[in-house]
Structure 1
Amino acid sequence: MPPTNADHRLDPEEIFAGLDFNRLTAVVVAVSGGSDSLALLFLLDDLRRSRVAFPRIVAITVDHGLRAESAEEALYVADLCKAAGLDHHIVNWAEAKPATGLSAKAREARYRLLRDAAGEAETDVILTGHTLDDQNETFMMRAARGGERGLAGMARFTLLERETWLVRPLLGIRREDLRGYLRARGIVWRDDPSNANPQSERVQVRTALQEQGSGDIPARVARKGAQRLAVNGEAATLLLGHVTVTDGVRAEVNTAGFDQYGDAAQRLAMGVLLAAMGGLSFLPSVQECGKAVRHLTGADGPRRMSLGRCIIQRVKTGVTIYREMRSIPDAVIAPGCAMVWDGRYRVSNGAPIALRIRAAGDDGVVFLQEGGCGNVHRASISSSPALVVEGRIVAVPAGPHHGNVPAGVEVTRHVALFDHILSGYDENLAASVAKLFGLQDYKRFSVNQIDKN
């Protein structure tokens, strides 16, 4: 059934503006059976019908297996897609469910399964149905926890694992408008009963917003988004102008002219460096970043301090930052397997032998020196990775003339802060880090991050 005048406010051309469908052969849509994702799917189908050429739409329903009704809901979506002539696949989270942190693990599994589905469909774009209501709720929950960066809300696009775009075209649209669109189309949605659980923080916030209204939250989100982009840009300039990274394991920060940047940019730049050098997937707290800045400028504490799994050593021109020798994993990677080691290196073992990876330590420093590296920064090399085969170090990838990495083994620098999930707000900031570390740049996407509503 085609759209009627009742849903004239929802213009697919406007909703999906910024997405270059011409370059795609397929696009994945995450569809749970709820109103938001079903509206997303059929609005995209409306766009497809209005164009001569369009990529194949692949609807994916992730069944987490957490509710008795979930299998039937997935089949309901399958029937809707079949009637509309759309491809649909059900993927199951078949792993054992964790006793704690279930929501976070389920979200992680959902994104992994969606990425896998995108790979099978030979596309790098996944669309999800997050709405303006979701954005308002997210703002309220983050405001209650404190902090500034999170108040920018969900980005319109996010890069997953450096490869796949997660795009949220409906962030500026109210859920009730989407439901009006579905009613006009005669499409029934399924409500998830967990969305009515009064113990859920999101449900409590949703109820409060329904009673009180959202007020100026969208405008506040837009302002915070603009502020985040501005501070990111300033921090990126600071990093590229004042930081040198050697061998991926040691950062030198020059203080000359450092104070010309705003306090927020200084703190962010130091936080990004600590996360990258320490293998963290999150920024240190604002307080910790401020402490690092004070230490950098010589206004706080001793010459040497530990923060964010890093050592910050004050020198004449600024500070040197490197990973401290604490809580560094010692792991064995079986043939055909891969892992991210210490949040800093991605190691893929395509060799026919088991590979051990551990901190290089003093014997790694000796290995490099005996290999012809005379001037070795002992502390940073000691906490860098060493590849061990049959009890013998064969390579220290962070050092120059590092030895022979076994054939079939790949070792690349990993930035946990951005490589797993990169918010569209942070594109320029991540690009500056990639340049500092001599890494391949992140994919870039052209969508305006500032909400126009």
Structure 2
Amino acid sequence: MNVPPTNAEPDINPASGFDAIDFKELRSVVVAVSGGSDSLALLHLLISYRATQSTFPEIIAVTIDHGLRPESADEAHFVAGLCKTAGIAHRILNWDGPKPDTGLSAKAREVRYKLLCRAARDADTDMVLAGHTLDDQIETFVMRSARTGKRGSERGLAGMALATLLDREVWLLRPLLDVSREKLRDYLRARGITWRNDPSNDNPKYERVRIRKALRLMDNRGIAGEVVVKASKRRALNDKVARVLPDCVTIYDGIRAEVSRADLGLQEQDVQQLVVAILMATMGGQSYLPPVENCDGVLEHIHSKRSSGRITMNRCVIQLRKDKVLIYREMRSLPSIVLDPGRSVVWDGRYQISNHTNKPMTITATGDKGLGFLGGVHNADFHRPSALSSPAVVVVGEIAGIPAIGDHMKVPNGISVTRYLALFDHILSGYDEILAQSVAETFQLQGYKRSPVNQINKN
């Protein structure tokens, strides 16, 4: 096993990947290291970059052992030995408990992000570096292209962003997105550094593996350029919508959006589509945007000659008024969740609720019983249908608070309630940072943590 070098060869300049990242003020930085070539090259390049800086945060390597293969524990200890030789702190975090029979890859990714966030909190940092490469970016583009189809949104074709915010807390950075895997392996070979191959990377039951093998037979040199173009278009559209939202959308109590029909109609079609998509996702508590055809159906409804009428789409009611349209959560498929002491839950994708009391409570839809709790006197902005589908906090069988409505936002001591935007709060792509900030401001919510990457210099 080789000691990581202190100076990089000119074939890969560490500064090209790390200069755009603001490491100042950090006490430490977490690096996700699996033992494969990509993550080992990332670690070695970061060590080389550190040697060129007068001050630099502590590097902490973290290996996630998913426990899905017999070799995984040995691979984790392989990384531990490498880091010990290099004088780098290292942790192994395990995915404990049962594994799902279906959706294993998605669940493994979710757990991996959760454990990396835990490692970042433990290290008192908000930055994690991951070794995604240009090959990963191209594979992602091809997979999403196949799913998008002719009528689908092209937003996903921008691929992975350089920076992604996890749970409003930790930035996951991918500084090697413009470097090929083979170039990274050449970097390691030149230094006599070995890596471990994950056999699942050759298992054709996984879509990414099938795409990877197909790409070997294709001329994919133009795909990276297409990704750059799609990313630029996504950011440009986001910027337009971020400017439009405050002028044509008003949010009431976090549960109802009112949109000026005239102001919306003045915008370009793609801007209108994204505005209604965002409002349906945030009012419907969903972590993804609705299909383009659904947005077009809503826009057809909005721009009709009718002065009243309603349709439902993506868990939302779209209700026409003379000069505006109301969008709010429909009264259907609303969860009822028991929240034990010391626990936290995201209710209906719209509210983060924590129980710091010593009693269990139930979070359910307000419904008619909740409206009775509110009484008959309401402010001028009160809207009964959207109030019905807002959350109620029930303690010992009695309603203790209706957090979304007026003075009743003051729930009992020990209960915290925050409006949650499932579209951005769990995973926020760096492409959407400006857009998410505008949405948060429109909802009068706390803004998102600023990216530590200078996108102008990077791009």
Give the TM-score band, short-chain normalised: over 0.9
Range with bigger deviation, 236-245 or 25-34: 236-245
**Aligned-pair distance for 1:108?**
0.4
Deviations 1:297-348 (A, max 9, x none): 1269982001110100011112101111101011111111110000000000
Q: Specify the alignment match of 1:144 in structure 2.
A: 146
1:264 matched to 2:283? The reply is no
Inter-partner Cα distance in structure 1 for 2:263 and 2:11? 51
Matches within 5 A, 1:101-116: 101-116=103-118
Q: Given that residues 222 and 451 in structure 1 are in contact (C-alpha distance below 8 angstroms), is that contact kept between their aligned partners in structure 2?
A: no
Q: 2:395 aligns with which of 364, 389, 399?
A: 389
1:356 matched to 2:356? The reply is no
Residue 388 to residue 176, structure 1, CA distance change in 2 (3 Å): same
1:227 matched to 2:233? The reply is yes
Residue 41 to residue 311, structure 1, CA distance change in 2 (3 Å): same
Q: Specify the alignment match of 1:422 in structure 2.
A: 428
Q: Specify the alignment match of 2:94 in structure 1.
A: 92
Residue 336 to residue 314, structure 1, CA distance change in 2 (3 Å): same
Q: 2:80 aligns with which of 71, 78, 86?
A: 78
Inter-partner Cα distance in structure 2 for 1:300 and 1:317? 10
Matches within 5 A, 1:32-51: 32-51=34-53
**Aligned-pair distance for 1:451?**
10
Q: Specify the alignment match of 2:191 in structure 1.
A: 185
1:249 matched to 2:251? The reply is no
Inter-partner Cα distance in structure 2 for 1:452 and 1:187? 28
Deviations 1:57-83 (A, max 9, x none): 010000000001111011100010000
1:65 matched to 2:67? The reply is yes
Inter-partner Cα distance in structure 1 for 2:287 and 2:113? 17
Inter-partner Cα distance in structure 1 for 2:457 and 2:71? 35
Inter-partner Cα distance in structure 1 for 2:218 and 2:286? 38
Q: Specify the alignment match of 2:124 in structure 1.
A: 122
Q: Given that residues 31 and 130 in structure 2 are in contact (C-alpha distance below 8 angstroms), is that contact kept between their aligned partners in structure 1?
A: yes
Q: Given that residues 371 and 401 in structure 1 are in contact (C-alpha distance below 8 angstroms), is that contact kept between their aligned partners in structure 2?
A: no
Q: Specify the alignment match of 2:10 in structure 1.
A: 8
Inter-partner Cα distance in structure 2 for 1:70 and 1:88? 16
Inter-partner Cα distance in structure 2 for 1:172 and 1:239? 33
**Aligned-pair distance for 1:369?**
2.7
Q: 1:292 aligns with which of 298, 302, 307?
A: 298
Secondary structure of 2:217's aligned partner: helix
- 4+ long deviations beyond 4 Å: 1-6, 299-302, 370-375, 448-453
**Structure-1-length-normalised TM-score:** 0.96
Residue 300 to residue 58, structure 1, CA distance change in 2 (3 Å): farther
Deviations 1:382-425 (A, max 9, x none): 10011111211121111111164111110000000000000000
**Aligned-pair distance for 1:366?**
2.4
Residue 342 to residue 216, structure 1, CA distance change in 2 (3 Å): same
Residue 200 to residue 87, structure 1, CA distance change in 2 (3 Å): same
Range with bigger deviation, 410-419 or 427-436: 427-436
1:434 matched to 2:440? The reply is yes
Q: 1:276 aligns with which of 261, 273, 282?
A: 282
Range with bigger deviation, 364-373 or 308-317: 364-373
Residue 90 to residue 195, structure 1, CA distance change in 2 (3 Å): same
Q: Which amino acid aligns with 1:70?
A: S
Inter-partner Cα distance in structure 1 for 2:307 and 2:380? 33
Q: Which amino acid aligns with 2:323?
A: T
**Aligned-pair distance for 1:103?**
0.6
Q: Given that residues 291 and 300 in structure 1 are in contact (C-alpha distance below 8 angstroms), is that contact kept between their aligned partners in structure 2?
A: no
Inter-partner Cα distance in structure 1 for 2:9 and 2:16? 14
Range with bigger deviation, 43-52 or 368-377: 368-377
Inter-partner Cα distance in structure 1 for 2:417 and 2:6? 56
Secondary structure of 2:320's aligned partner: strand
Inter-partner Cα distance in structure 2 for 1:182 and 1:301? 67
Q: Specify the alignment match of 2:24 in structure 1.
A: 22
Q: 1:175 aligns with which of 178, 181, 188?
A: 181
Q: Given that residues 155 and 449 in structure 1 are in contact (C-alpha distance below 8 angstroms), is that contact kept between their aligned partners in structure 2?
A: no
Count the aligned residue pairs: 453
Inter-partner Cα distance in structure 2 for 1:446 and 1:112? 20
**Aligned-pair distance for 1:359?**
0.6
Q: Superposition RMSD on alpha carbons, in Å?
A: 2.0
Inter-partner Cα distance in structure 2 for 1:210 and 1:70? 27
Q: Given that residues 371 and 403 in structure 1 are in contact (C-alpha distance below 8 angstroms), is that contact kept between their aligned partners in structure 2?
A: no
Deviations 1:88-122 (A, max 9, x none): 11110012101111111011000001100110001
Q: Which amino acid aligns with 2:119?
A: A
Matches within 5 A, 1:195-234: 195-234=201-240
Inter-partner Cα distance in structure 2 for 1:6 and 1:346? 46
Residue 214 to residue 53, structure 1, CA distance change in 2 (3 Å): same
Q: 1:327 aligns with which of 298, 310, 333?
A: 333
**Structure-2-length-normalised TM-score:** 0.95
Q: Specify the alignment match of 1:316 in structure 2.
A: 322
Secondary structure of 1:218's aligned partner: helix
Inter-partner Cα distance in structure 2 for 1:284 and 1:136? 25
Q: Given that residues 388 and 394 in structure 1 are in contact (C-alpha distance below 8 angstroms), is that contact kept between their aligned partners in structure 2?
A: yes
Secondary structure of 1:130's aligned partner: coil
Residue 4 to residue 59, structure 1, CA distance change in 2 (3 Å): closer
Q: Which runs of 5+ in 1 are unaligned?
A: none
Residue 307 to residue 166, structure 1, CA distance change in 2 (3 Å): same
% identical equivalent positions:
54
Inter-partner Cα distance in structure 2 for 1:52 and 1:261? 50
Residue 447 to residue 78, structure 1, CA distance change in 2 (3 Å): same
